[in-house]
Amino acid sequence: MNLQDLSGLLRLEREKQGLSFITVAERGGFSNESAVRRLEREDTNPTLRSLQRYANALGVKLSFNLERMTILTAFNHAGGVAKTSTVRDLGVTLAQLGAKVLLIDADPQGNLSFGLGVRETTLDQTIYPAIIDELPLPKPLEVHGLHLIPSHLDLMQLEIKIPSIIMGITNLRNAVRKLEGYDIVLIDAPPSLAPIATSAAIAADQLLVPIPTKSKGLESLSTVMNMVTSFRRAAPTLGIALFVVTQFDSRIGHHKMALESIRASLPRIAPVSSPLIYRPSVYDRAQLEGVPVPLLDPRDEAVKRSIEEIMIVATELLERLGVNYGTNAPD
């Protein structure tokens, strides 16, 4: 079922419950009843976010089915392009939408773990034993409605140890593929082309490639594309799920030019997301407080906007993955 069909289903449910547009608008926090009317029209393209509010107003829960578990790695060897923020915030948002999500922090810096409020870890809780001793991945931590395999600074040792193990570079791939019970696994790779980042990329079905709308982001792209080609020797079907446009500042001329050039050149390779806007106050707070952006207080206008943007990108990703939506409303 696509979003349009879902909207039709919710309309039927509203009619069945005998609720007026005004009641749904009030319960769902819509600005007025015409926003709800618009949502029901067949020629509009509803967003998952608005349908989710609509469903809440009806007391219906949205659900979606992925045919099989999808493993995605945020990959870009350039530093500071928002790999970790993307994994953290999309992970939380997808979990809020009902997906069973596992996040894997494969970066010894541990920013993803910190960003989810996890500070104290042991090496046994990380990907280390799966890579070195080919053990199953450890029992994950439960944070903010999702599961996390955290990082530890000593993961750094893997950069030296992986090359000394025969086929060591594929051990993470093998371990992740044995997982069960998840819809989506998101792996945060470190900013390098070294063995850990390569292991993380090769573990994926598809990559999420964050690109900031500044020159550094664009410059990294040709290397990313060359790397994808070489990763395919170990992961033949590896593709790019989505280019995630990050840290976009519309007040800056070269950001606008970069966005135009991204939109002109990249869609022939993979879809380009709607932009995540540059909002240091929001993102710095999330990282410092160890609370993902989607869980910050939405009464702050900047936070609210960032949450909406992240929700849009999550929907774009789900669309790309061919997700089927449904509801728990009785027929």
Ligand X SMILES: Nc1ncnc2c1ncn2[C@@H]1O[C@H](COP(=O)(O)OP(=O)(O)OP(=O)(O)O)[C@@H](O)[C@H]1O
| Contact footprint for ligand X (CB under 6 A) | 79-85, 107, 111, 191, 246-247, 276-280, 283-284, 287
Closest to 259 measured CA to CA, from 219, 221, 307, 211: 211
> What would the two tokens of residue 22 be?
């005004």
Q: Among ligand X, Mg ion, none, what does residue 60 contact (CB within 5–8 Å per kind)?
A: none
Q: Among ligand X, Mg ion, none, what does residue 90 contact (CB within 5–8 Å per kind)?
A: none
Q: How far is the CB of 81 from Mg ion (least distance, A)?
A: 8
> What would the two tokens of residue 115 be?
């960003």
> What would the two tokens of residue 239 be?
């593709």
Instruction: Pick between residue 84 and residue 246 the one whose CB is nearest to Mg ion.
Output: 84
Q: What's the distance, CA 65 to chain centroid?
A: 16
Instruction: Pick between residue 10 and residue 81 the one whose CB is nearest to ligand X.
Output: 81
Give, as ranges, the residues between 104 and 163 that touch Mg ion (CB under 5 A).
111
Instruction: Pick between residue 13 and residue 107 the one whose CB is nearest to Mg ion.
Output: 107
Query: What is the 8-class DSSP label of residue 282?
Result: H
Instruction: Pick between residue 46 and residue 110 the one whose CB is nearest to Mg ion.
Output: 110
Q: Among Mg ion, ligand X, none, what does residue 67 contact (CB within 5–8 Å per kind)?
A: none
Q: How far is the CB of 288 from ligand X (least distance, A)?
A: 9
Instruction: Pick between residue 83 and residue 144 the one whose CB is nearest to Mg ion.
Output: 83
To 10 degrees, the CA torsion angle through 139, 143, 145, 146? -40
Q: How far is the CB of 66 from ligand X (least distance, A)?
A: 25
Instruction: Pick between residue 83 and residue 147 the one whose CB is nearest to ligand X.
Output: 83
Single-letter code of the amino acid located at 12? L
Q: At what angle do helices 3-17 and 48-58 cross, to 10 degrees?
A: 20
Give yes or no for a contact between 109 and 122, defined as CB atoms under 8 angstroms apart: no
The residue ranges of DSSP E strands in the chain, in sequence order, are: 62-65, 70-74, 101-105, 141-143, 146-149, 184-188, 206-212, 239-246, 324-327
Q: Residues 304, 309, 313, CA angle at the centre, nearest 5°?
A: 145
Q: Residues 133, 150, 223, CA angle at the centre, nearest 5°?
A: 85
Among 50, 84, 125, 306, binds Mg ion (CB under 5 A): 84
Q: How far is the CB of 211 from ligand X (least distance, A)?
A: 10
Q: How far is the CB of 18 from ligand X (least distance, A)?
A: 43
Instruction: Pick between residue 60 and residue 187 the one whose CB is nearest to Mg ion.
Output: 187
Give yes or no for a contact between 42 and 4, defined as CB atoms under 8 angstroms apart: yes
Residue nearest Mg ion by beta-carbon distance: 84
Give, as ranges, the residues between 44 and 83 that touch Mg ion (CB under 5 A).
83
- The full length of the chain comes to 331
Q: Among Mg ion, ligand X, none, what does residue 247 contact (CB within 5–8 Å per kind)?
A: ligand X
Q: How far is the CB of 15 from ligand X (least distance, A)?
A: 40
Q: How far is the CB of 164 from ligand X (least distance, A)?
A: 25
Residues that bind Mg ion (CB under 5 A): 83-84, 111
